[in-house]
């Protein structure tokens, strides 16, 4: 059963072209469909917050639908596509295939996560959001290497989402390794991918994090969805065992990271994904008749990616990481492309310092 948990209204002029045409649509209402309970906690809330300015600034109201209460995602997307929405935001990588099929059937545009293969039947109906992933990994690698007092870093990747999400995390891992080595080639890495087809659990992530910490890693970069809390708990259990910190992506992890005595977080930093720009552009493109013709990319250059730090890193380290990340996006560095577990493992083995 679907539950609409919030609806924001605004007065809008014009006539909607719902379901009849994707050219010059007068967007007045959209649906935001997300797995509130089954996703990385801050991610969905962060995306929803990006929509809250739309009623006043863009003249668009939105319905928020909690899809964690149904197993029939296609049915959920079909339902909201028949409720007068001119756009459906399918806010989870695992929804992309179903969203594309629904768009083809209903002719209501869908905004999805991940690179999509060319499909003539949905041309102009599906917009895809992607991320400058290896470049953002580079930023975190530079930050970690500049802030660490040891040269032993860990990477834990959770396969608890779509294939695209897993490839994104692994490309970030490769960028993280390359970024850290650009600061100090002596840096050593531990790497583990937990799960393979969306089956990673918090318990398995806990065990992977625990193993890496036992090998003496000072910092963990933890990448994944809801399962990543397990690796965070492994780090929390090491309280008092030195300056052991973690890094992440997507959000600032405010709802899951624990605080040390005195209110100082265990976190060093995170690459935050800000969806305001791509959501706005998607609406503008629908109104202009150009929706989905180009991918919607989150990058440092366009503000879709930002570096959040907790103050544990020196200010010059943060500034250098951001500056080099923007250079990386312009192609100034050769960053390895590592979309798979095997590719990251090969990079770790190749870059391991002699005798280690």
Instruction: Answer yes or no: is 292 within a domain.
Output: yes
User: What CA–CA distances, in Å, run from 10 to 13, 27, 58, 59, 284?
Assistant: 10, 12, 9, 6, 17
Pair (255, 226) in one structural domain: yes
Q: What percent of the chain has pLDDT over 90?
A: 58
Instruction: Answer yes or no: is 270 within a domain.
Output: no
Token pair of 205 as six digits: 């992530």
Q: Could you give the CA distance from residue 167 to residue 223 in angstroms, rounded to a whole number?
A: 11
Query: Per residue in 251-288, pLDDT tens?
Result: 777 766 665 444 445 788 899 999 999 999 999 999 99
User: What's the number of domains the chain is made of?
Assistant: 2
State if pTM tops 0.75.
Answer: yes
Query: Per-residue pLDDT for 151 more than 90?
Result: no
Query: Per-residue pLDDT for 196 more than 50?
Result: yes
Q: What percent of the chain has pLDDT over 70?
A: 86
Pair (64, 140) in one structural domain: no
Pair (119, 253) in one structural domain: no
pLDDT at residue 353, rounded to an integer: 57
Pair (75, 156) in one structural domain: no
pLDDT at residue 15, rounded to an integer: 33
Mean of the pLDDT values across residues 49-61? 88
Confidence of residue 21 (pLDDT cuts 50, 70, 90): very low
Mean of the pLDDT values across residues 200-215? 94
Looking at every residue in the chain, the average pLDDT score rounds to: 85
pLDDT at residue 226, rounded to an integer: 85
Pair (187, 248) in one structural domain: yes
For residues 36 and 22, the model is more confident at: 36
DSSP E strand boundaries for 104-171: 110-113, 126-131, 152-158
Pair (53, 32) in one structural domain: yes
Instruction: Answer yes or no: is 37 within a domain.
Output: yes
Mean of the pLDDT values across residues 333-345? 96
Pair (69, 95) in one structural domain: yes
Instruction: Answer yes or no: is 305 within a domain.
Output: no
Query: Per-residue pLDDT for 349 more than 50?
Result: yes
Mean of the pLDDT values across residues 287-299? 92
- Rounded to 5 degrees, φ, ψ at 31 are -120, 135
The answer to whether residues 125 and 148 touch, using CB atoms and an 8 Å cutoff, is no
Across 23-27, 145-149, 280-284, least confident range = 23-27
User: What CA–CA distances, in Å, run from 154 to 47, 126, 176, 185, 217?
Assistant: 28, 37, 10, 15, 6
The answer to whether residues 40 and 205 touch, using CB atoms and an 8 Å cutoff, is no
Pair (118, 175) in one structural domain: no
pLDDT at residue 354, rounded to an integer: 54
The answer to whether residues 127 and 59 touch, using CB atoms and an 8 Å cutoff, is no
Pair (62, 27) in one structural domain: yes
Across 3-12, 72-81, 168-177, 245-254, least confident range = 3-12
Domain that holds residue 291: 4-131+275-298
Query: Per residue in 214-253, pLDDT tens?
Result: 998 988 999 998 888 888 888 888 765 556 788 888 877 7
Confidence of residue 69 (pLDDT cuts 50, 70, 90): confident
Pair (125, 194) in one structural domain: no
Q: Could you give the CA distance from residue 320 to residue 309 in angstroms, rounded to a whole number?
A: 13
Pair (225, 345) in one structural domain: yes
Of 56, 19, 104, 17, nearest in space to 287 by CA: 17
Query: Per-residue pLDDT for 66 more than 70?
Result: yes
Query: Per-residue pLDDT for 39 more than 80?
Result: no
Mean of the pLDDT values across residues 159-183? 95
Pair (174, 213) in one structural domain: yes
Instruction: Answer yes or no: is 304 within a domain.
Output: no
pLDDT at residue 316, rounded to an integer: 87
Instruction: Answer yes or no: is 8 within a domain.
Output: yes
pLDDT at residue 242, rounded to an integer: 59
Instruction: Answer yes or no: is 356 within a domain.
Output: no
Residue recorded with tokens 């059937």 = 105
Query: Per residue in 80-138, pLDDT tens?
Result: 999 999 999 999 999 999 999 999 999 999 999 998 887 877 888 999 999 999 999 99
Instruction: Answer yes or no: is 303 within a domain.
Output: no
pLDDT at residue 68, rounded to an integer: 85
The CATH number given to whatever domain includes residue 180 is 3.40.50.2300
């Amino acid at each position: 059963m679907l539950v609409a948990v919030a609806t924001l209204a605004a007065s809008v002029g014009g006539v909607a072209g719902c379901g009849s045409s994707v050219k010059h649509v007068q967007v007045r209402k959209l649906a935001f469909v997300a797995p509130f309970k089954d996703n990385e906690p801050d991610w969905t809330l962060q995306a929803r917050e990006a929509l809250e300015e739309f009623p006043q600034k863009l003249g668009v109201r939105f319905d928020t639908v909690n899809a964690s209460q149904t197993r029939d995602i296609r049915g959920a997307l079909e339902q909201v596509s028949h409720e007068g929405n001119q756009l459906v935001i399918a806010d989870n990588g695992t929804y992309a295939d179903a969203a594309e099929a629904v768009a083809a059937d209903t002719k209501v545009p869908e905004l999805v996560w991940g690179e999509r293969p060319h499909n003539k039947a949905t041309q102009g109906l599906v917009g895809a959001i992607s991320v400058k992933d290896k470049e953002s990994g580079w930023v975190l690698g530079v930050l970690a290497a500049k802030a660490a007092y040891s040269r032993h870093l860990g990477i834990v990747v959770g396969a608890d989402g779509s294939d695209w999400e897993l490839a994104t995390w692994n490309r970030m891992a490769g960028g993280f390794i390359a970024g850290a080595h650009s600061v100090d080639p002596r840096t050593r890495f531990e790497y583990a991918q937990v799960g393979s087809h969306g089956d990673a659990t918090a318990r398995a992530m806990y065990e992977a994090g625990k193993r890496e910490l036992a090998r003496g890693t000072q910092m963990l970069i933890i990448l994944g969805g809801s399962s990543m809390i397990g690796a965070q708990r492994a780090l929390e259990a090491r309280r008092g065992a030195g300056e052991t910190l973690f890094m992440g992506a997507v959000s600032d992890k405010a709802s899951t990271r624990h605080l040390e005595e005195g209110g100082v977080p265990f976190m060093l930093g995170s690459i935050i994904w800000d969806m305001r720009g791509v959501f706005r552009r998607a609406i503008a493109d629908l109104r202009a008749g150009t929706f989905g013709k180009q991918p919607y990319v989150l990058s440092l250059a366009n503000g879709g990616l930002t570096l959040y730090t907790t103050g544990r890193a020196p200010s010059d380290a943060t500034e250098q990481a951001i500056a080099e990340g923007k250079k990386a996006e312009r192609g100034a560095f050769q960053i390895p492309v590592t979309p798979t577990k095997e590719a990251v493992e090969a990079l770790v083995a190749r870059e391991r310092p002699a005798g280690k």
